[in-house]
């Protein structure tokens, strides 16, 4: 990142894409607040960052669906590292179920984590992002925020909502120095994908390797996206050179979905 590296807060930072983003931002010199519900994986990321000479704080018990929890965590982050210049909303969940078996509790949980969580964290942090100057907000959405997939109606609805929120807020903030963008990964090699593999194996009797290969076929490049590829896109959006990029949904999926 050109210019002075600053404070970044990353939700869902304990594993998968969130972990890769946190490590990448720390590698560029940012002080990183690691937010998530479970302490152990966050502590492991913090140790990795600090072993490389970086700075990090763990915000365990950070529940993106609970406004009080979010406000407490954001305040703790600001108290430690100052105002938040880069906010990355990466916390998410991707359970699957046929629509007819998607009951209100299931629906509300997915919408609550993926969409309402993004709203709550952004609302709690926005005043700090304004104060930091040249702020960057990046929401981790999905190709499911741009197209439909069977058996994940709640997930698709939530990620479409994240993309819509991204675009609306980008316009509201267009006259400021804050940009708001989304990254939309395709099937990515993370623990979240392992859940999809387990579902496929349980329903079809396929082996895990065969199930992973079936998911990789959705990518025209014939492979799974790596978390680092998503993190590299976030680094670009967080950079000074991406100041004219706002309101965009950047697809990281090997050509599976082409936004236009």
The torsion of the CA quartet 136, 95, 184, 24, rounded to 10 degrees, works out to: 50
**Predicted confidence (pLDDT) per residue in 219-243, tens digit:** 888 888 899 999 999 999 999 999 9
Let me know if residue 74 belongs to a domain: yes
Residue 151 falls in the annotated catalytic set: no
Let me know if residue 220 belongs to a domain: no
The residue range of the domain holding 48 is 7-186+225-251
Backbone φ, ψ for residue 21 (5° rounding): -65, -45
| pLDDT value for 2 | 41
**Predicted confidence (pLDDT) per residue in 112-163, tens digit:** 999 999 999 999 999 999 999 999 999 999 999 999 999 999 999 999 999 9
Let me know if residue 142 belongs to a domain: yes
Let me know if residue 84 belongs to a domain: yes
Let me know if residue 78 belongs to a domain: yes
**Predicted confidence (pLDDT) per residue in 178-209, tens digit:** 999 999 998 887 777 766 666 667 667 777 77
Let me know if residue 63 belongs to a domain: yes
| pLDDT value for 257 | 86
- Check the CA dihedral 221-226-227-233 and report its sign: negative
| Pairwise pLDDT comparison (177 vs 200), residue with the higher score | 177
Residue (of 156, 178, 148) closest to 166 by Cα position: 178
Structural domain total, the chain: 1
27: domain CATH number is 3.40.50.720
**pTM of the model as a whole:** 0.92
């Amino acid at each position: 990142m050109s210019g002075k590296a600053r404070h970044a807060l990353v939700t869902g930072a304990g594993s998968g894409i969130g972990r890769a983003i946190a490590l990448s931002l720390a590698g560029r010199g940012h002080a990183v607040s690691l937010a998530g519900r479970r302490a152990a994986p966050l502590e492991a990321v913090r140790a990795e960052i600090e072993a490389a000479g970086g700075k990090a704080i763990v915000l365990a018990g950070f529940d993106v669906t609970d406004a009080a929890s979010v406000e407490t965590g954001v305040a703790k982050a600001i108290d430690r590292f100052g105002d938040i210049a880069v906010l990355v909303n990466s916390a998410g969940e991707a359970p699957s179920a046929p629509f007819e078996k998607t009951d209100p509790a299931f629906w509300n949980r997915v919408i609550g984590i993926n969409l309402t969580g993004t709203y709550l964290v952004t609302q709690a942090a926005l005043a700090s992002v304004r104060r930091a100057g040249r702020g960057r907000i990046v929401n981790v959405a999905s190709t499911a925020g741009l197209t439909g997939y069977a058996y994940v109606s709640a997930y698709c609805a939530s990620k479409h909502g994240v993309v819509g929120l991204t675009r609306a807020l980008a316009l509201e903030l267009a006259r400021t120095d804050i940009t708001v963008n989304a990254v939309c990964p395709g099937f990515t090699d993370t623990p979240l994908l392992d859940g999809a593999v387990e579902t496929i194996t349980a329903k079809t009797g396929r082996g895990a390797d065969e199930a992973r290969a079936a998911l990789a076929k959705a990518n025209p490049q014939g492979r799974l996206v790596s978390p680092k590829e998503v993190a590299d896109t976030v680094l670009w959006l967080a950079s000074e050179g991406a100041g004219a990029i706002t309101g965009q949904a950047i697809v990281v999926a090997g050509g599976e979905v082409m936004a236009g």
